[in-house]
Amino acid sequence: MFPVSALDMGAAMKTLVLTLDLVGTFVFALSGATAGLRRQLDLFGVLVLSFVAATSGGIVRDLLIGATPPAAFTDWRYLGVSLLAGVAIFFWSPAVHRLRHPVLVFDGAGLALFCVAGAQKALVFGLEPVMAALLGMLTGIGGGVARDVLLSNVPAVFRSDIYAVAALAGATVVVLGDALGLPSTPTALAGAALCFGLRLAAIRYGWHLPTARAPEPAEADKDAGRDGR
């Protein structure tokens, strides 16, 4: 396999993928650093969390499509923007605390940018449309999952909020736009806007997917009795 720079693709597409990646990295780093700040981590802990949250999704994406070593390890800008976001959040913590739900907003923005960047890069590497959309979703949710696991939280993707579905919707817009021959930049912006809008609407209005119904206490006791027999 070979790195994305070796592919025969236009300069505009290279710039678009890199820009989406770096902006998404910065925003997810803000999310990770803010979450670490709320858990009262020290400066080193905040910086580690910002880097992990910012790059995990992209690293998984690059490994799966064979773009090795991952861009986060070969391009200093990924580390640079992650540390910049972490330092900014750590030393401007009073301003962050005055914001309402900053982690959710930053996380939603990072999710939107990464899902479209992941889908774009997957298409560049020749993946089929369905697989490209799924990889875009995986790129979007990877950073949030890594952040939540390090903080001993249940990852948002496993809860009832619209999260992975929003990322899949944004990535699907990118894939459909590519199939229809539409310009890449407007399509990416539309996909990111859809993902971000769905995520914020889910937070605002409490949208969620159906969840498994827990058994009533009486039913649970009956089941336990049957198992005992």
Let me know if residue 172 belongs to a domain: yes
Residue 1 lies in a domain: no
For residue 218, tell me if it sits in a domain: no
pLDDT > 90 in the chain, percent: 36
State the pLDDT at residue 207. 76
Query: Worst-scoring range by mean pLDDT, 13-17, 23-27, 67-71, 224-228?
Result: 224-228
- Mean of pLDDT over the chain: 82
Pairwise CA distance, residues 35 & 33, whole Å: 5
d(CA 162, CA 213): 18
229 in a domain, yes or no? no
Least trusted range by pLDDT, from 15-29, 63-77, 162-176: 15-29
Those residues with Cβ within 8 angstroms of residue 171's Cβ, 6 or more apart along the chain or in another chain: 115, 116, 118, 119, 132, 133, 134, 135, 136, 137, 140, 191, 195
Residue 13: which pLDDT band, with cuts at 50, 70 and 90? low
**Overall domain count for the chain:** 1
- Model pLDDT, residue 3: 42
Query: Which residue carries 């020749």 as its tokens?
Result: 126
- DSSP-derived 3-state class of residue 208: strand
Residue 49 falls inside a structural domain: yes
Percent of the chain scoring above 70 in pLDDT: 80
Q: Is the pLDDT of residue 8 over 60?
A: no
Rank 6-10, 18-22, 88-92, 156-160 by mean pLDDT and report only the highest: 88-92
In a domain, 27, yes or no: yes
Does 120 have pLDDT greater than 80?
Answer: yes
Could you read off the pLDDT of 182-227 as tens digits, one per residue?
998 899 999 999 999 999 998 888 777 776 666 665 554 555 555 5
- Is 127 within 8 Å of 75 (Cβ atoms)? no
Which domain range does residue 66 map to?
7-205
pLDDT band at 156 (very low <50, low <70, confident <90, very high): confident
**Which pLDDT does position 95 carry in this prediction?**
62
pLDDT at 119 over 90: yes
- Residue 71 pLDDT greater than 60, yes or no: yes
DSSP string, 156-191: GGGSSBS-HHHHHHHHHHHHHHHHTT--HHHHHHHH
**Quick one: pLDDT at residue 2?**
36
- Least-confidence region, from 91-100, 113-122, 130-139, 191-200: 91-100
